[in-house]
Amino acid sequence: MMAAPVKMRIVFGDDNAEKLTIESGMPKSVEDLSNEIKRQFDIEGDIRLQYMDSDFDNNFVNLNQISDIQDKSTVKVISLSDVSQGCLNQSCEDTSSSSDTIILSSPDSVTARSQWPTEFKIPTFPYDVEMQLQSANQAFMSSRVFLNPSHKLKSDILESLAAQIIRFKAYPSNLEIESVAEALIKAHPCLREQGSSSGYYGWKISLKYKMANYRTKLRNLGCPEMSINSLKNKPADKCQPAHNIKKPRKAEVNFCPPYPAGETLDSLEGERVSLLSEVQKRHNNAVIKEKMAKTFAYRRQEVVRDQPMIAEFKTRWPGLFTVPEVEAEFMRITTVPLVTTFFAQLDNHADQLQRLLKKTGGSKGKKIKLAFAPTAQVKFNTL
């Protein structure tokens, strides 16, 4: 007998909730529910779930077992950042002040990407748009009159927002687009939609279509991150729009950047060949570092487009397979330092990892318990 479908109210923030329907019935675990929420609402990254607990006047508490909720329960989604913002800021300061600074391929390039901001900042619109919005905002503050934007005004606003979004992501998630729409009506309350419970649903939908059109424009201009998905760059037997779409994975900020100004495929291939001899020389780290940074876009397009085997890639790029260059490549792709990010996450999950490892049985379990014995003694002494 098939399980009955369940429905839940999923809360993402103030004045922002969605209806979730699971046709297969109640998930078997909290993790299964998290995965279903991430799938249906196109959420990237880690999340934590909370539920309304009647024992505490319907305040939200962390959801640790699936039996705490039922059909038509209210569940709140908490987004977890990869690392704390303070840790990232400190890491960036430490990295930039180090004498062994990692070289980025094009630090002053207009096409360089940044991480998605914690709070999206609405850009300054063209002068005529700003004048209209300023006047409309004043009218809203004085008499609560909403602005009904003309087609041109709305198009200009969406164009500016798309240009700002593309600085961070070419393929923003549903929640990221929603955060932009929400930021828009906060910055310009006159644009709030009267027929929408959130006040920005129409802006969100329009922005999704605008981003699709904006990607088409960039693809026609030769932007590699978009043109790599065009039909002419796919095999003849797999020439379908939906086949093998290449999009950035989590944390990939500079996914498929363009070549540096003035460089071509031939010139960068020459740099790659030159690197093969440079890595054979002793005490040549500075030259290798500079050339690896210069060829980053060429190397990255090779990875995304061709998806080479590791053995083949190592033969073509031997200079990449060293500790300093792995860290530098990670920094170029994600814009965050590898080691600091790793240890920050390790600290967050250390207790959970220890509990998991201690459950191991047999001879392996005994060795693990012996290894953890000194740390357990230290914790005991500090109590």
Tell whether 60 and 134 lie within a shared domain: no
C-alpha to C-alpha distances, 162 to 108, 157, 170, 171, nearest whole angstrom? 21, 9, 9, 11
Higher per-residue confidence, 358 vs 381:
358
Predicted model pTM: 0.57
Q: What is the mean pLDDT of residues 365-381?
A: 67
Q: Which domain holds residue 65?
A: 6-80
Q: Last residue of a domain, which of 199, 221, 243?
A: 221
For residue 17, give the 3-state DSSP assignment: strand
Tell whether 65 and 125 lie within a shared domain: no
Tell whether 64 and 134 lie within a shared domain: no
Structure tokens at 229: 């998905």
Query: Within a domain: residue 278?
Result: no
Tell whether 74 and 150 lie within a shared domain: no
Structure tokens at 349: 């999950």
Of 101-110, 114-123, 185-194, the least confident:
101-110
Nearby residues of 350 by Cβ (< 8 Å), 6 or more positions away = none
Higher per-residue confidence, 244 vs 107:
244
pLDDT given at position 253: 86
pLDDT given at position 250: 76
Q: How far apart are CA 252 and CA 262, in angstroms?
A: 25
Q: Last residue of a domain, which of 201, 221, 241?
A: 221
pLDDT given at position 90: 47
Q: What is the mean pLDDT of residues 82-95?
A: 43
User: Band of the pLDDT at 97, cuts 50, 70, 90?
Assistant: very low
CATH number of the domain enclosing 41:
3.10.20.90
Query: Within a domain: residue 65?
Result: yes
**pLDDT surpassing 50 at residue 255:** yes
pLDDT given at position 313: 95
Helix H or strand E segment including 79: strand 74-80
Tell whether 121 and 217 lie within a shared domain: yes
Q: What is the mean pLDDT of residues 68-81?
A: 85
Q: Last residue of a domain, which of 197, 221, 245?
A: 221
| Number of domains into which the chain is organized | 3
Average pLDDT of the chain is 83
Q: What is the mean pLDDT of residues 205-217?
A: 92
pLDDT > 70: percent of the chain: 85
pLDDT tens digits for range 45-66 = 778 899 988 888 888 888 888 9
Query: Within a domain: residue 334?
Result: no
Tell whether 17 and 63 lie within a shared domain: yes
pLDDT given at position 275: 95
Tell whether 40 and 128 lie within a shared domain: no
Query: Within a domain: residue 229?
Result: no
Structure tokens at 148: 């009904």
Q: What share of the chain is helix, strand, coil (3-state, %, to 5)?
A: 55, 10, 35
Cβ atoms of 52 and 11 closer than 8 Å:
no
Cβ atoms of 119 and 163 closer than 8 Å:
no
Query: Within a domain: residue 100?
Result: no
**pLDDT surpassing 90 at residue 319:** yes
User: Band of the pLDDT at 184, cuts 50, 70, 90?
Assistant: very high
Q: State the alpha helices, DSSP H only, in 221-337.
A: 224-227, 265-278, 285-294, 296-306, 310-316, 323-334
**pLDDT surpassing 90 at residue 271:** yes
Residue 362: left if φ>0, alpha if ψ -120 to 50, beta else—which one?
Answer: left
Tell whether 66 and 145 lie within a shared domain: no
